[in-house]
Structure 1
Amino acid sequence: DYGVVSVVLELPFSGDWDTLIRLGSRWVWDVDFERYASRLAREKLSRAASALVKPYENWLSEDYFIFHVCQIAGNPSASELVASRGERIAQIVRGEIAQLSEGERQEILQSRISYYPSDLAVIGWNAAFLYDSESGAEAAIQLLEYANSQLLEFRHYDELLTRELAGVYASLDKGTGMLARWRMARDARKLHTVFLDVTELTEHADNAIKFLSDMFSARLYKLAAAKVGVPDYKDLVTQKLRTAEELYRFMVDQFNQSRAFVLELMVVIILIIELLFLFGGKSI
């Protein structure tokens, strides 16, 4: 199983676009927020150590930056803001100070979504730009956080399946002799347990997003999940689950063949013993 700890660091800002671009680039590339957040999370969780069951020593982590702008001079609409400041928004989302190419700018701005004319969300793979009120942006921030938590979930399952499959391959490399096939039953049971657990948990992850009550939130989540890479890792997990299922069937078949051979051998031995007793009795 797995759990997610979310650490949110808020840095208030007030200034012009050039200042925000410089600060954004510094925050994205030069400041190690991830290490600070990890240390903070470990300090907090150490107080609840007695409540944790088999905690992991090594953690997976993802950092994501949200540039939330509440007010802009002139109160432009979303379309006006993209038309007048689209290039700067693209730089903020990428964490770049240098001017971006037209193609890169268009690629970034294609991943934008609005519900009202006055709000805007531009989603990137490691950062997002939000133009909305405090209350209006709350749902978008929560969905971005949830998308990143799902990315961690599928990364965790991907690593878990990778380790389990590596162990199975190592076991198979030792040979498929009689004793090796007999040991496959234990390895097959372990692999099948992992297969069932991961399958169930991935289904829960897929169903969890169904709590969204409106189509806009669902579209926003789908866009965010696609940008951070959730579908890619989900596909990797699905492929490895398919491989695990095929290996499980192969191992069970090998074990069943060995068991059938042993049973047949036992029957032959019993028949030989009976024949020995039979002929031995006649000779007497």
Structure 2
Amino acid sequence: KIIKKHGGKADIAEEYSIAAVSGYSGEPEQFFAKAPLIASFLKSEKLTLDKKEIEYTLSAQIKYAQNDMVIIDWDGAFVFEPEGQINSIVELLEAANLQLLRYRVLDFDLDKRLQRALRLTQKPTAKTLIPLNRELAQSFREIIKIRAESIAEFDALEREIKLIGDWYSARLYDLISKKFHLDGWRNSIKNKQESLEDVYSIIAENFSVSRGKFLEFIQMILWFVLLAGWFVLLAFDIAASLRSQ
């Protein structure tokens, strides 16, 4: 429902699990006796994980007090909070997951547009010039729209991050974004947008050259038609002169 509400695509959706442990006393490290189970949950993995993999998975953690802890991974999070007050943590995880989905949808859309652009790089013929002209115009409008929307989204995300009031929440979101590779997704999207703009600029230049050659060809045909018509008229004049003699 969240994906559809924000314009996402269900076919690239992923589940994210959050386990919360509350009602305990002491430090959360006491539960690390079950570290293999915690790591398997975080990775949605049924296999028994290697010891080093378990250590690496549990290392992505953050603490505020001695008795709490949040462990973050790509597929899930483990929250230790003795009082069970985890609403703000869940909200940050939801926001980061939503941002990741936005990036994935945009990245998927850019891949399709790059494939479409490669198809347009084929040398246009006289038959395809007019449809290509319309398609290029539409594609340029779509690229401008995507660029504007992505810039607006990136700016909105920056504002949302700046609005995170407390130091702990900001650190937690930073940990989540690193685990989700949000900066990597963002840079990939920017690079693909620039590549798409470059490809369409090249296509437009080639199209202008092809259209110019096509117009020259049409002009040449019209000139030959006029020349042939002039010869026909001349022939009629000569024939009329011969008949009048």
TM-score normalised by structure 1 residue count: 0.63
The equivalences for 1:53-72 within 5 A come to: 59-72=11-24
Residue 134 of structure 1: SS of its match in structure 2? coil
**Offset of residue 111 of structure 1:** 0.9
Q: Between the two proteins, what is the percent identity of the paired residues? A: 22
Match of 1:110 among 53, 59, 64: 59
**Residue 169 of structure 2: aligned partner:** 217
- Give the distance between the partners of 1:97 and 1:59, measured in 2 at CA: 24
Instruction: Work out whether residues 150 and 205 of structure 1, in 8 Å CA contact, stay in contact via their aligned partners in 2.
Output: no
Task: Choose which of 2, 20, 27 in structure 2 pairs with 1:77.
Answer: 27
Number of the residue aligned with 1:6: 2
Q: Does structure 2 retain, via aligned residues, the 8 Å contact 1:154–1:237? A: yes
* Inter-partner Cα distance in structure 2 for 1:56 and 1:153: 7
Give the Å deviation of 1:264: 5.6
Whole-angstrom distance in 2 between the partners of 1:267 and 1:216 = 72
Unmatched tracts of structure 2, length 5 or more: 234-245
Q: In structure 2, what is the equivalent of residue 185 of structure 1?
A: 133
Matched residue SS, 1:122: strand
d(CA) in 1 for partners of 2:128 and 2:171? Answer: 51
CA–CA separation in structure 1 for the residues paired with 2:192 and 2:9: 24
- Aligned pairs (5 A) from 1:22-101: 59-72=11-24, 75-78=25-28, 80-81=29-30, 86-95=35-44, 100-101=49-50
Q: Using a 3 Å threshold, how does the CA distance of structure 1 residues 116 and 199 change in structure 2: closer, same or farther?
A: farther
Q: Distance in 1 between matches of 2:8 and 2:172?
A: 32
Q: Structure 1 residues 190-199 or 226-235, which shifts more?
A: 226-235
Letter in 2 for 1:6: I
Equivalent pair of 2:120/2:203 in contact (CA under 8 Å): no
Q: 1:107, CA displacement in angstroms?
A: 0.9
- Root mean square deviation, CA, Å: 3.7
Match of residue 128 from structure 1 = 77
The answer to whether the 8 Å contact 1:168/1:187 transfers is no
Partner residue of 1:164 out of 92, 98, 113: 113
In the alignment, the residues of structure 1 paired with residue 45 and residue 130 of structure 2 have an alpha-carbon distance, to the nearest angstrom, of 59
Structure 2 contact 20–80 (Cα < 8 Å) conserved: yes
In 1, Cα distance between the equivalents of 2:93 and 2:174? 10
Cα distance, 1:150 vs. partner?
Answer: 1.6
Q: Deviations over 1:129-156 (max 9, x none)?
A: 0012333x21111111111112221221
Letter of the structure 1 residue corresponding to residue 124 of structure 2: T
Equivalent-residue separation in structure 2 for 1:207 and 1:168 (angstroms): 28
Letter in 2 for 1:101: D
Count of residue pairs brought into register by the alignment: 224
Question: Structure 2 counterpart of 1:187, which letter?
Answer: E
Give the TM-score normalised by the residue count of structure 2: 0.72
Give the Å deviation of 1:81: 4.0
Q: 2:154 maps to what in 1?
A: 206
- TM-superposed CA distance for 1:117, in Å, is 2.7
| Alpha-carbon distance change, 254 to 217 in structure 1, aligned in 2, over 3 angstroms | same
- Offset of 1:71 from its aligned partner? 2.1
Q: Distance in 1 between matches of 2:59 and 2:143?
A: 38
- Paired residues of 2:117 and 2:196 also in contact (CA < 8 A): no
Give the structure 2 partner of residue 18 of structure 1. Answer: none
Alignment equivalent of 1:247, drawn from 180, 199, 215 = 199
Q: Which blocks of at least 5 consecutive residues in structure 1 are unaligned?
A: 8-40, 46-51
